[in-house]
Structure 1
């Protein structure tokens, strides 16, 4: 959990600095983009959990 908090803190600082320097945000500018990234991560984790069953099905 500490890793997640550290990542959130680092991202917040970076976002603040980008806004301060009037640079474009280095992340999707809309919530839908962020949700899409979370979806990619979840899909990857679901595959990892189901991988043995998928490998057996196709072999």
Structure 2
């Protein structure tokens, strides 16, 4: 949980810096882009955790 909170805090600070310099955010601006990132994470976790169980 500590890593998740630190990651959120780091992302928040990066967002502040980008807004202060009036730069576009380095993240998907749309909900579909965020879902794409979540899908990449879920696919990775599936291969790491479920695939070894299926290949036994």
TM class, shorter-length: 0.7 to 0.9
- Runs of 4+ in structure 1 off by over 4 angstroms are none
- Provide Cα deviations, 1:10-58, integer angstroms capped at 9, x if missing partner: 10010011011001111111121111101110011011122222x45xx
Structure number with bigger Rg: 1
Question: How big is the alpha-carbon RMSD for the aligned residues of Structure 1 and Structure 2?
Answer: 1.2
Structure 1: gaps spanning 5 or more residues: none
Please give the alpha-carbon distance, in whole angstroms, between the structure 1 residues aligned to 2:21 and 2:3: 27
Q: TM-score, normalised by structure 2?
A: 0.85
Number of aligned residue pairs: 55
TM-score between the two structures when normalised by the length of structure 1: 0.81
Counterpart of 2:36?
36
Q: What corresponds to 1:17 in structure 2?
A: 17
